[in-house]
Structure 1
Amino acid sequence: MVQLGTRGVVYRGGTSRALLVRAEDLPTRNKGELEQWLLAVYGSPDARQIDGVGGADVLTSKFGYVGASSRPDADVDYTFAQIGIDEPMVDWSIMCGNVLSSIAPYAIDEGLVPAVEPVTVVRVHNTNTGKVIVARVEVSGGRPKTAGTTHIDGVPGTGSPILLDFKDAAGAKTGKLLPTGNRRDQAHVPGVGLVEYSVVDIAGMQVFVSAKDFGLTGSEDPAEIEKIPEVGRKLEFLRGKVAVDLGFATSIETAWDESPMTPFSIVVGAPMDWRLYGSNEPRPADSCDLAARCVFNGQVHKAFPGTGAVPVAVAAALEGTVVHDIVRPEAGDSGIYRVGHPGGTLSVEVELSESGSRVDVVRASLIRTARRIFEGTVFAEPSRLPWAGEQSHVVNESGHHAQ
């Protein structure tokens, strides 16, 4: 049998990279079969992902498919999947805010949304969460601009700004901005003791803890944290407990298998000098309003997820949360919260409206850049696709064929 080929485009969105495919070009709509195809395409499970397009990093083992919107208040549907690297896992529970920044320019490039100069507004319906995020893309000559003066930490050079507004993405996973009903909760973590934490759900659901409770500062290099496996285990215990309490897992022991990415664990600390991951470039404490590290199953995000930055900024603005206790007090004066992460600083603009116990998000926006890197045909080995059978030469519905 020949290899199964599917048309796709590789985009860098924010600090992530993903293979994007039009919904009509998917080789199958069966979820189980699609997961087998994704694992084959990305070369998983394998620590190097040497036999696929994955880059052996959580930031590059990402996938999305895009199609016409299924609802009247959006222009396109976007479905995201996080692909496991050294384990056969495909997680559909999150949206990935960085990859989200590539969806609007992709939709314009693919003709799914008409280009309007100078700025095209694209309403993206994320099917993972059921939320609509509004993206504003600069357009020139009928195409999304890539050149510009906007620099985002974690990405070399500069590009054209893409503004993402997440204000309508509150309650993305639970329907509530504060899933537990509280701004702060407590749990007993073996080896740590009683730990205070806050859970915020906007763009994604995250559990926030003070870094010092786990013997950290929040400004460590990712490798430093990953070398202390007991820290990862303790954080995973707490994350697992939250997942169980909110109905995403049946037990703490099985939480990673049942809900690996919901919630993330994010440790936060007071601003302090740190060095950037990879380059070792120094950054002064006054260039951020708080330090944060995103940890999942002992691994540390080498930059910071957009779906983590939005809730951390909202938590920083919300009095009574663990994050609000730590953030630089004057940060709220401008409404912009600067999150210090391994790759640099990520700024989020937040405005909240509070009435009694009710909290509404008026604004939650950040700026990213994106770039189309490659387009062509991605091939999957048919021996890994038992469902393909003799149909493996039929590539997709748009008529592209395997070689």
Structure 2
Amino acid sequence: MIQLVTATGTRVSHPEFDRWLEDIDAERLCALYEDMVVIRRIDTEATHLQRQGELALWPPLLGQEAAQIGSGRALRSDDFVFSSYRENGVAYCRGVDLTDLLRVWRGNVSSGWDPFEINMATPQIIIGAQTLHATGYALGIQNDGADAAAITYFGDGAVSQGDVSEALVFAASFQVPVIFFCQNNHWAISEPVGLQSRVPIADRAPGFGIPALRVDGNDVLAVLAATRIALDRARTGGGPTFIEAVTYRMGPHTTADDPTRYRDANELEDWAAKDPITRMEALLTHEGLFTPELQAGVAAKADAVAKEMRAGCIGLPEPEPMDVFNNVYSTPNSQLERQRDHYSRYLATLAGAEGSN
């Protein structure tokens, strides 16, 4: 497993990976730290909003900040992202509007944003399906002769789904420019990763003919370097790459989950010592960069983002009952129109009943 920054913040030299980080100077190192703090604050604020009844559900990313920021900041604007429901940090890197991040979880819309405005598909709830979407999109890139890439994110639990295996077969067969980015957070809801994978997940990819990298997912520099390597391979005709970022889901699967029912507290304590943000703070301290000015600036940015997101969430207008039929299909559909008509007449009967009272 590739590691460039230890849990205590010590920078480790690596002959192959270091050259992919030559542009990461003090300013960019601090920017990566800010990103991780900000998305943790986004995650915390959204969790609070759910607990306060403002959101129906929220999938926390607590503990996975380095995996998402390291990979997200490696991408170009013309690369396309296909994510699961937990990659809110990657969405932040893509420039998603903070209010759009919450719309679907508040139940106001069926989808959060226009995918083509930020080159990121809206979150996929069906486990593993996004890997097929990414592979198909990458084939389109290949046919266009472009040098962009597609990247798809999924968890360790998704690798047991047939969709992921099918996507790997197709991507390898046609050597399309796609990156399979597995965030191994050790828990598929309540099922531990060791139960479904007797070997490291990255070891599966070579069996499909896809090269793999296994990195410390709590090390933002290792993730950044690995993603850049995979992107370079994709852009230069080298085909797909599988990255396993070994990290840990420190919170619940979603806010409807109680991880204390299946997870040992000692395990959580062990992984808390590998916290990606604490690790980055230690690295910045070693480099003489973790100054009071940096800390104050980052805290102010996180507060501002949280305030903007909360205001946007609470300020969302309530949808009208008939809005449920909007934006379901891109073209008229007779079955949907029939449902719309039936529901409209049903609502009219309710209005009539209220009037009679």
Classify the TM-score, shorter chain: under 0.3
Q: Which structure carries more strand by proportion?
A: 1
User: Whose relative contact order is higher, 1 or 2, with alpha carbons under 8 Å and at least 6 apart?
Assistant: 2
Q: Which structure carries more helix by proportion?
A: 2
Q: Considering only CA atoms, is the larger Rg found in Structure 1 or Structure 2?
A: 2
